[in-house]
Amino acid sequence: MKLLSHPGVLIGISAFAILALIILVAIFSFSSNDLVETPNTPRELWRRNLNTQVGEGTVRVVNSHDGYAITVPSSWQVPDVASGTSGLSIFYHPLGLAAEGVDLPEGLFLKVWVEPAPQDADIRTWAQQNARAQNVMPTTIGAYSAFSFSRPLQETTMELETSPIEDSLLKMFLVQDEERLFVISCSAEGAEYLAWIALCEEHVSSFEIL
């Protein structure tokens, strides 16, 4: 008790408590800056702020909250935020979004979102159950082992049946760490869809887990 009553000890304990409080506030503030607060919505569904780092003809897009980054050409249309439900969506068309005569969704979409790592199934099974995938094949994305598959985009008819869309392709890449499954997709529709998918694949290789 005498030790605790010593002025030097009390000052040391107070200083330590203040430092711990500052660290906690800083961590909370940093985490909050990663998210766009949405009233009456669960925190995990809040939109994610994106940090963009401009290079020579490229933009590195960083989602700190979900723990990934990807680099794309600066001519691609990168949003300020990623959705808390459907993830990051980047669009590319040589004429731009508002160009006259462009019938959207013609063009290329690069999307990234995060799922919990499958616990009771391997990635192939997850892809078959959640993305109607067939022929899921091992591949690599940069330094990461991954799986991929491709299929035409689907449209739903008035009878609620699905049919493939002509001149379209969806290619998905799946990368897993201990807790997360990162899903990266390239989807393109239009006369140039094969060239756009090939272009998208080039930039998928820049994907990083942070």
Closest CA to 32 of 7, 65, 79, 61: 65
Q: How is domain 43-209 classified at the architecture level of CATH?
A: 3-Layer(aba) Sandwich (3.40)
Q: 15 vs 89, which has greater pLDDT?
A: 89
Flag whether pLDDT at 34 surpasses 70.
Answer: yes
- Would the CA dihedral through 54, 55, 58, 60 be positive or negative? negative
Averaged over 177-192, what is the pLDDT?
93
Q: What is the pLDDT of residues 87-140, one digit of tens each?
A: 999 999 877 754 455 455 578 999 999 999 888 778 888 888 888 888 899 999
Nearest-angstrom CA–CA distance, 173 and 164: 20
Flag whether pLDDT at 23 surpasses 70.
Answer: no
Q: Label residues 54-86 b or e (16+ Cβ within 10 Å = b).
A: eeeebbbbbbbbbebbbbbeeebebeeebebee
Type and span of the H or E element at 7: helix 7-33
Which pLDDT does position 14 carry in this prediction?
A: 54
Q: What share of the chain is helix, strand, coil (3-state, %, to 5)?
A: 25, 40, 35
DSSP reduced 3-state for 108: strand
In the structure, what pLDDT confidence band is assigned to residue 71 with cuts at 50, 70 and 90? Answer: very high
Rounded to two decimals, what is the model's pTM?
0.78
Which pLDDT does position 73 carry in this prediction?
A: 96
Specify burial of residue 108 (Cβ count, 10 A radius: 0-12, 13-18, 19+). Answer: buried
Domain range annotation of the chain: 2-33, 43-209
Radius of gyration of the chain (CA): 23
Which pLDDT does position 58 carry in this prediction?
A: 95
Averaged over 153-173, what is the pLDDT?
84
Q: 100 vs 85, which has greater pLDDT?
A: 85
Mean pLDDT of the chain: 82
In the structure, what pLDDT confidence band is assigned to residue 25 with cuts at 50, 70 and 90? Answer: very low
